[in-house]
Amino acid sequence: PESPPPPSLSLVIGAGPGSSPPPLDGQLGRGPAPAPAPPRPRRSLAGSFAKHTQGYGRVNVVEALQEFWQMKQSRGADLKNGALVVYEMVPSNSPPYVCYVTLPGGSCFGSFQFCPTKAEARRSAAKIALMNSVFNEHPSRRITDEFIEKSVSEALASFNGNREEADNPNTGIGAFRFMLESNKGKSMLEFQELMTVFQLLHWNGSLKAMRERQCSRQEVLAHYSHRALDDDIRHQMALDWVSREQSVPGALSRELASTERELDEARLAGKELRFHKEKKDILMLAAGQLGNMHSSNC
């Protein structure tokens, strides 16, 4: 079955149905007290959050997003860098203002509306991030055996592959299957956070360079599946782009212009942005390094 659409924001943050049921007659002194009810199953995180925010009236989505991740951490989520949600305003002296928000796992979203103030841009980014955070808790967003089989079959159909390729980790589709099976039980946002590293390695040409050094796909997957995207990786990729610019003048500015267009289109469409945002940050870092090199040569 198809995944259900994301819940509306009003449902997520407290315009949910109903109030508590009326007390039983026994509790009003008109008969014996009822037997204790059996313990309820543990409420889902999304359900607990909706209950927690119910009745708040007009909820501050910035506060609600932070509370959601704090609640997720309190329930045992493995958040290596804590539950802090980080906002980043794009420098501008006039509207429309743009804001990005990075979630504790690394996923990134941005303001998707025309925002006349910086506060509105922050709220817009928080709104789309909150909707995705809550929807990500739905069981349909988990990687299961059924999901893996469906995804691999679709990949085989798209690339005219055969079933043997899916069972060979040294093929592209086999590597895709290996990644999915290695992340069974995780949510789609968690999987996307991991895939961002491999998207960047592919974009930067690093995967091709590893193949030329006779590194197998499995070796690359095994290494980077447990490696977080950090400043060392960004710095190395930036140096690669400095080298490209020195070999082909103008390559950096063209790639940056293309990346900024892609980032804006994805942001306005309400998509997850980390791949595009990391690309831009790496290219800006490379531009800064080039500027420093030119300054030191003067």
Domains of the chain: which residue ranges?
59-137, 230-297
Backbone angles phi, psi at 187, to 5 degrees: -85, 170
The pLDDT tens digits of the residues spanning 127-165 come to 999 999 999 988 888 999 999 999 889 988 888 877 887
Q: In DSSP terms, which residues pair with 89 in a beta bridge?
A: 99
Who wins on pLDDT, 207 or 245? 245
CATH class of 59-137: alpha beta
- Mean pLDDT, range 241-252, rounded to an integer: 96
- Kindly report which listed range (53-62, 219-228, 260-269) carries the lowest average pLDDT score: 53-62
Q: How many Cβ atoms are within 10 Å of 96's Cβ, its own excluded?
A: 15
**Is a pLDDT exceeding 60 seen at residue 112?**
yes
The per-residue pLDDT for 223 is: 81
Give the C-alpha separation, 125 to 270, whole Å: 9
List of E strands, 90-193 = 99-102, 108-110
Give the C-alpha separation, 170 to 18, whole Å: 54
- Mean pLDDT, range 83-91, rounded to an integer: 95
**Is a pLDDT exceeding 70 seen at residue 19?**
no
How many separate helices (H) and strands (E) can be counted in the chain?
A: 13, 3
**Is a pLDDT exceeding 60 seen at residue 41?**
no
- Kindly report which listed range (31-35, 40-44, 171-175, 214-218) carries the lowest average pLDDT score: 31-35
Q: How confident is the model at residue 53 (pLDDT cuts 50, 70, 90)?
A: low
Residue 106 gets the label, from left (phi > 0), alpha (psi -120 to 50) or beta, of left
The per-residue pLDDT for 51 is: 54
Backbone angles phi, psi at 162, to 5 degrees: -120, 165
**Is a pLDDT exceeding 70 seen at residue 17?**
no
Q: Which residue has the tokens 């691999």?
A: 152
Q: Which residue has the tokens 């999987």?
A: 191
The per-residue pLDDT for 140 is: 86
Question: Coil, strand, or helix at residue 110?
Answer: strand
Closest-CA residue to 243 (of 273, 209, 213): 209
